[in-house]
Amino acid sequence: MAIRKVGVIGAGVMGAGIAAQISNAGIPVVLLDRAGKQGTASLAEQAIGKLLKSKPAAFMSRRNARLITPGILDEDLERLSDADWIIEAVSEDLALKHSIYRQIAGIRKRGAMVSSNTSTIPLTALVKGLPRSFKQNFLITHFFNPPRYMRLLEVVSGDKTSARGLEQVLNFADQALGKGVVRCKDTPGFIANRIGGFWLQCALLEALELGLTVEEADAVCGRPMGFPKTGVFGLMDLIGLDLMPRILDSLCSLLPAGDALHAIRDIPPLLSGMIEGGYTGRKGKGGFYRLKISAEGRHKEAVDLRSGEYRRPEKPRLESLRAAKAGLRALVEHPDRGGLYASRVLLRTLAYTASLATEIAGNIATIDQAMRLGYNWRHGPFELIDRLDSEWLVGQLEQEGMAIPPALADAAKKGGFYRKEGGVRQYLGANGGYHKSTRAGGISTLSDAKLEAKPVAANAGARLWDIGDGVLCLEFCSKMNSLDPDILGMLVQTVTELPKSHRALVIHNESTNFSVGANLGLLLFASNIAAWSEVEGLVKAGQDAYSALKYAPFPVVGAPSGMALGGGCELLLHCDAVQAHSETYMGLVETGVGLVPAWGGCKELLGRMACNPRRPRGPMPPVQGAFEPIAEARVSTSAAEAQEGGFLGPRDRISMNPERLLADAKALALSLASNYSPPEPFAFQLPGPSGQAALELAIQGFHRRGLATEHDVRVAGKLAWVLSGGDHGGPCSEEQLLALERTAFVELARHPDTIARVEYMLENGKPLRN
């Protein structure tokens, strides 16, 4: 039985977010909650309204809201009678949950799965007193907030849970919802919150004891450790300060007396006072940080951990932070208070995790995955132990007089929790042996391929990998995957030198972002020395490389995730097809730095608009359709939105799970390889000066209202000139349009305002807002 309809009971933050993510998968969902106050919409209707306004967006496309049917629990429960999966997401009140389960039992269809989104209540307590038939179709599915962006889904099943029903939910969560599914044992807090709660509380108490500032603590307990840049105090602000006491109380009420969390469970007076005063983080009046609005404008403030008063931020100046550049061991061994803080937090957190190795999950790899996905740790706790060295950690714990967990002692004897054997990654099991790390069917990552082979070709900017079945994968490896001559050279080499031995090419990497665009540092350097022939040469090199890609003798599939901006977006526009992760953010953003797309982006987007059968005929509609997103430097907030905006076409596909992206892209590439022939070039019919004049009229209107600067007008005018076909219009080939792009780009690159914008972007990582 496939999952074709889902019901969600509880329209709070979590329930509504879960419903939105199910709609993002294209599945209809019924959302039920109580009626609203007299004269107001139901709570479910109100929740959908909030979802449509939420930032970051809960919906991948606003159209998905139509897939959610709101209702009132007491009146509309029958709407769930044909649901294949019913998710309970009400408050952590066991009596309330049992009442709802009894209602569900009376209407659900045979075989329909029911799950709870509880974060702490054990499965045994949830199903106590319920009929066997209900227990067989019941499990825990713990989503993390916000459900669209947090990939972790913790799943707990019982010994009576139907294997078939469980498999259906797991597959749906993995493939349709894009979740990293982690199987947990039925223990309090499961995996991520059990470890994460201990880590956050430990980090809070140690910062107070050692006299660190919030900025120092977050700088240490952030990127140097491989934790999110928010650090611990920023993270507590994000999740809500009032949530911490509730998590600790709930966990400690269920944990055995000897659990180490009991020793650190006390909430410090500072935190209690902040919560009582309404300072609960971003959702309240502020937290450990706040944004203060005064006559001077908006500025950030931080809490002084000693006085409890807000003050201006202080930049951390710890020697240990500089030492951390040499590695994690250098940080924890540094003698200043930052190093001591890092050592105390890590020793206690890692020792606690190692003590739970067999209690909370089937293996250590599962625990590491849960922390990477649920708390955005770059490395899981057991991977961190290996980075520090398990034998070293044992020695440190012995010096502190702390108990050595058996799992850690075993790893110290055997050389670590992980090893690579014959190109395969293995983890240390509870039985003392090493076991092969396995993935679900259909998951194939570039990291796995790289374990088993050396690159086919490589240079400083890119590497080419053989991923089997005659398919190559081109990986960028420059900083932020910015596109430079090395990458362009590898593109040309791949297309011209390797076509005979391979059937297809996939362009993919596993970085946070596919590509942020061209390396602006090269442009700025050439501009500063007035090397305009070099600028034109760089533009021509990109155009030639992308044209070679488009007309390669084999199919090329782009497989992006994260940002694909500027030249990165242009590259995808030249691919035969794109298999995009759902969280792909595409846009031609060159106008933000005073330029126009010049690696064929104008040409390709214009061609897509001209070929769109839903657009009106004639020379002007395609020009207008391409002009607006480029002039506004519009970036899609999802792959679905990119498809609606024309950056992705009808041939392109979307993968919800990033771990399936490469395998999906490879399958798409192979499907195109049979009897492949390159595409026919676009032949444009463009309006010329009349079209340019019409576009410039709109630009001047923005300028008069103060919404565009003089340089914005200049840049948009050049863009209008390119898209309209230059000074003459009429029939226009791809080569002619590329020449117009090149001319406009070089002319704008010479302008002082463009150079100033490029400098600002390189210094601040964001475009200058006028």
Average pLDDT over residues 459-465: 95
Among all chains, which residue has been given the structure tokens 């902040």? 274
Give, in order, the Cα–Cα distances in Å from 601 to each of 368, 679, 741: 41, 16, 9
Q: Cβ neighbours of residue 749 under 8 Å, at least 6 residues apart?
A: 523, 527, 532, 535, 595, 755
- Whether domain 6-183 has CATH 2.70.98.10: the reply is no
More confident residue, 293 or 217: 217
Is domain 441-589+635-678 in CATH 2.40.50.140, yes or no?
A: no
Q: How far is Cα 321 from Cα 555, in angstroms, rounded to an integer?
A: 47
| Angle CA 721–727–733, to nearest 5 | 80
| Contact predicate 253/239, CB 8 Å | no
Q: In terms of DSSP H, where are the helices of 186-336?
A: 192-210, 214-220, 231-239, 243-254, 269-276, 319-323, 328-332
What DSSP designation does 268 have?
P
Kindly tell me the sign of the dihedral angle through the C-alpha atoms of 712, 715, 717, 719. Answer: negative
Residue 42 CA to residue 756 CA, distance in Å, equals 52
Contact indicator for 227, 377 with CB cutoff of 8 Å? yes
526-552: burial string, b at 16+ Cβ within 10 Å, e else: bbeeeeeeebbebbebbbbbbbbbbeb
Residue 451's pLDDT band, with cuts at 50, 70 and 90, is: confident
Residue 258 CB neighbours (<10 A):
7
pLDDT at 498 over 80: no
Contact 287, 274 (CB under 8 A): yes
pLDDT confidence tier of residue 442, bands split at 50, 70 and 90: confident
At how many degrees (to 10) do helices 337-355 and 192-210 cross? 150
Q: Tell me, what's the pLDDT at 499? A: 64
pLDDT above 90: residue 381: yes
**For residue 767, is the peptide bond before it cis, meaning its omega torsion is within 30 degrees of 0?**
no
Q: What is the DSSP letter of 172?
A: I
pLDDT at 545 > cutoff 80: yes
Count the neighbouring beta carbons within 10 Å of the beta carbon of residue 299. 12
Q: Give the Cα separation of 760 and 747 in Å (integer).
A: 19
Residue 767 and residue 593 in contact, taking contact as beta carbons nearer than 8 Å: yes
pTM: 0.93
Torsion sign, CA atoms 730, 736, 739, 745:
positive
Torsion of CA 87, 89, 92, 97, to 10 degrees: -50
Q: What does the CA dihedral 645, 646, 647, 651 come to, rounded to 10 degrees?
A: 130
DSSP one-letter string for 38-102: TTS--HHHHHHHHHHH-SS-S-SSGGGGGGEEEEEHHHHGGGGTT-SEEEE---S-HHHHHHHHH
For residue 397, give the nearest of 379, 411, 383 by alpha carbon.
411
Contact 570, 588 (CB under 8 A): yes
Ranges 34-43, 287-296, 460-469, 499-508, most confident: 460-469
Q: Judge whether residue 279 has pLDDT over 90.
A: yes
Q: Average pLDDT for residues 77-101, to the nearest whole number? A: 96
User: CA of 618: how far to CAs of 249, 614, 695, 738, in Å?
Assistant: 67, 12, 16, 21
Helix (H) or strand (E) holding 426: strand 424-428
**Model pLDDT, residue 39:** 74
pLDDT tens digits, 115-151: 999 988 899 999 999 999 999 999 999 999 999 999 9
CB atoms within 10 A of CB 684: 22
> What are 297-351's pLDDT values in tens digits?
788 999 999 999 999 999 999 999 999 999 999 999 999 999 999 999 999 999 9
Six-digit token string for 668: 């798409």
Q: Look-up: residue for tokens 């709101």? A: 70
- pLDDT on residue 3: 96
pLDDT of residue 769: 66
Q: What is the pLDDT of residues 620-631, one digit of tens each?
A: 999 999 999 999
Domain definitions of the chain by residue range: 6-183, 192-428, 441-589+635-678, 594-630+680-770
- Residue 343 CA to residue 206 CA, distance in Å, equals 10
Provide the token pair at 634. Answer: 């519009």
Looking at the domain 192-428, which fold is it? N-(1-d-carboxylethyl)-l-norvaline Dehydrogenase; domain 2 (1.10.1040)
The pLDDT value recorded for residue 248 is: 92
Q: pLDDT grade, residue 472 (50/70/90)?
A: very high
pLDDT score for 1 = 63
CA distances from 324 to 207, 226, 316, 433 (A): 18, 11, 13, 33
pLDDT over 70 for what percent of the chain? 99
CB 191 within 8 A of CB 361: yes
Region 48-71: mean pLDDT is 96
Percentage of residues in the chain with pLDDT exceeding 90?
85
Supply the mean pLDDT for the chain.
94
Tokens in use for 304?
A: 């002084």
Average pLDDT over residues 727-742: 94
In the numeric block, which tokens belong to residue 450? 């790289």
Alpha helix stretches (DSSP H) within 326-363? 328-332, 337-355
pLDDT tens, residue by residue, 553-610: 999 999 999 999 999 999 999 999 999 999 999 999 999 999 999 999 999 999 999 9
Q: What does DSSP say about strands 562-565 and 584-587: parallel, antiparallel, or unpaired? A: parallel
| Whole-number pLDDT of residue 739 | 97
Q: What is the pLDDT of residue 770?
A: 58
Distance, in Å, from the CA atom of 123 to the CA atom of 117, rounded to the nearest integer, reads: 11
Tallying the residues shown for the chain, one arrives at 770
Helix, strand, coil shares of the chain, percent, nearest 5, are 50, 15, 35
474 CB contacts (<8 Å, ≥6 apart)? 462, 463, 464, 465, 490, 491, 494, 505, 506, 507, 508
Alpha-carbon dihedral 207, 252, 286, 49, rounded to 10 degrees: 150
